[in-house]
Amino acid sequence: MKASSSARRKKSFSSSQATRISAKKSSTTSAKAWAGRFTEPTNALVERFTTSLPIDRQLFEYDIQGSMAHCQTLEKAKVLSKAECQQLIRGLTRVRSELREGRFPFTDSDEDIHMVVERRLTELIGPLGGKLHTGRSRNDQVTLDLRLYLREQLQVLHGKIHAVQAAFVQQASQHINTFIPGYTHLQRAQPVSLAHHFLAYVEMLERDKARIADALRRVNVMPLGSGALAGSNYPTDRTFTAKLLNFPALSQNSLDAVSDRDYVVEVLNVLSLIMMHLSRLSEELIVWSSQEFSFVELPDGFCTGSSMMPQKKNPDVPELIRGKTGRVYGHLVTLLTTLKGLPLSYNRDLQEDKEPLFDALQTVLDSLSLYAGLIQRMTVRKERVAEAVGSGFLLATELADYLVQEGVPFREAHSIVGRLVQTCIKQKQELGDVSLDDLRTISPRFTKKALNFLTVEGAVDRKAQIGGTARKQVARQLKTWEQRLKKRPSM
């Protein structure tokens, strides 16, 4: 028994030892909320390497919003008194004002926005500020902030897409009767209404809006109360917190809740698809605004010039959006790569989620804002597109379909018209130049009625099924979109 008692005494701290260690920590690491078990201050390089404040400081509104709800939840759980809760919320309100007004006193040792807010709160209201973190961890706090942020930003994103759609619809309303070559393989294929072409982008963007709304369902889940990984020892009512923060759903597994970044990946995927659509648009506008095409004139305010060549008007906005698409793709791959090797639950690697997300989101928002203005002010060069749609054998399929209607098997009709095109190329003619005699030289199956199939208007209007380029179908679609886009954008 004596030996055992002696061993226990050797393992225990003397009062003087504890005092010395406490004093040492107080003098070296007092700035850190977690400094209790450490015996030396954080290395300066580690401070710079690990801080996330330059990135996550933009989450301060959401961090304080979550903290206020957490105070009320702690009051309901009898962990805080009503007076303490009110004092904490008043202090948080002051911190928020300082951050909003740009007069917040940041320090070199600040780690992240969560500890910054808690530090300043304690400076303003005293030791009571230390109670704010009761029953929560930065692990559930940061994912709450990120979800609150994304919930708001997805609404903004949805509205930006709506504005680009409205610009396309405005342009389409002026060009139902403007016909352009439709392309496959970037080769002239069949004539289409330019309005039909513009509405194709409206359809693409509508799918993007639907994906945003779908992603929002998984973003809109309340993780607070999950603690560091296992939940909370306090009788906090998570349903109450969710109602305060307007979350329709609660996370159901604390381990998953603190380590889940699927919703960020999903948003980055949506952003990548939006940029892919904008990049396709960029490619067309770059080509269409070239002197070789000259289908459109981009507004001067959205172009730049050359420092050397006075005549140049460069489509820099579409080019940069096309270029930045790879940047957004890269952010998606960055986060997927970060997540692929992480065990449950939280790991510091997850700090790397915000920089790619914030940059990708801002890139997409800026790109959409630019295109809303550019599309609205873009000019179509009608004389040039009319010239283009009248050449290039765009009506060849019309003649083949005419022969089919006359009972010729399609493959035979295809071959007949192919020979006609070959003859025209040799004789340097367009299909619009051929006579009935020319047609009958190729095949006796052609009759005078075939000449009716050699008009652009007829070729367009024969595509009258739902989804076709016929003007009556385009007008119907245009009316539908005008009505839908008059409504205030919301998910």
Looking up tokens 């000019």 gives: 379
Q: Do residues 139 and 346 touch, judged by C-beta distance below 8 A?
A: yes
Residue 413 and residue 356: Cα distance in Å, rounded? 55
Q: Is 345 designated active site?
A: no
First to last CA, the chain: 72
Among the listed residues 5, 185, 435, 490, the single catalytic one is: 185
Indicate the residue type of 91. Answer: G
Among the listed residues 6, 26, 290, 306, the single catalytic one is: 306
Q: Name residues whose C-beta falls within 8 Å of residue 310's C-beta, 6 or more positions apart in sequence.
A: none
Residue 56 and residue 106: Cα distance in Å, rounded? 13
The pairs formed by 248-254 with CB atoms below 8 angstroms and a separation of 24 or more are 248/220, 249/220, 249/221, 249/222, 250/221, 250/222, 250/225, 251/221, 251/222, 251/223, 251/226, 254/140, 254/225, 254/226, 254/227, 254/229, 254/230, 254/345
Q: Do residues 248 and 219 touch, judged by C-beta distance below 8 A?
A: no
Residue 459 and residue 483: Cα distance in Å, rounded? 28
Residue 232 and residue 241: Cα distance in Å, rounded? 14
354-377 vs 316-339: helix crossing angle, rounded to 10: 160
How far, CA to CA in Å, does 55 sit from each of 111, 255, 330, 334, 367? 11, 25, 18, 16, 21
Q: Is 306 designated active site?
A: yes
The residues that are catalytic are 185, 306
